[in-house]
Amino acid sequence: MAQKTYAGITVDVNEEGYFTNPAQWTKEIAVEIAKEEGLVLTGQHFAIMDFLRNKFIGGEALSIRSINHSGVLDVKTFYQLFPGAPLKKATKIAGIPKPVSCI
């Protein structure tokens, strides 16, 4: 298993850089990963990442559709916050595995 060091903490990641142990994640780490992705995190980023982490920890599948039911923001804003591939980027920065959903 690969390891990476963010904000002075060594974490376990897979070959694509996704966390294999979400418990190792902190907000300081998120800021560092976001920098690698060229993003500066705001309160909105953290709010939706909390939603994604809670869903993941609750064992629910993550989909782009679920963002609209987050009560935090809508899908359009999600695409603006994490340009390109938002669900992949957001889960990577949120320290949870890459979603396996097709929708």
Partner 1 sequence: MNTEPNYAIKKVNLICAKGAIEDVYATLVMGNGAVMEGIETNIFFTFFGLDAIIKTRMDKLHTGVVGNPALRLPGGMRMASLLGIIPGMEAFTSWMMKSQMADLDIPPVSEFMDLITAGGGKIYACKLAMDMFKFKQEDLSEHVSGILTIGEFYAHAGGEGSQIIFT
Active-site residue set = 102
Q: How many helices (DSSP H) and strands (DSSP E) are in the chain?
A: 5, 2
Q: Specify the stretch interacting with partner 1 by CB under 8 A; choose among 5-13, 17-25, 50-58, 95-103.
A: 95-103
Residues of span 32-71 touching partner 1 by CB under 8 A = 61, 63-66, 68
Number of residues in contact with partner 1, rule: CB under 8 A? Answer: 19
Burial class (CB in 10 A: 0-12, 13-18, 19+), 47: middle
Residue 62: its H or E element: none
Burial class (CB in 10 A: 0-12, 13-18, 19+), 60: exposed
Q: How far is the CB of 12 from partner 1 (least distance, A)?
A: 26
Q: Which is nearer to partner 1, 24 or 79 (CB)?
A: 79
What residues line the site for partner 1 (CB under 8 A)? 61, 63-66, 68, 74-76, 79, 83-88, 101-103
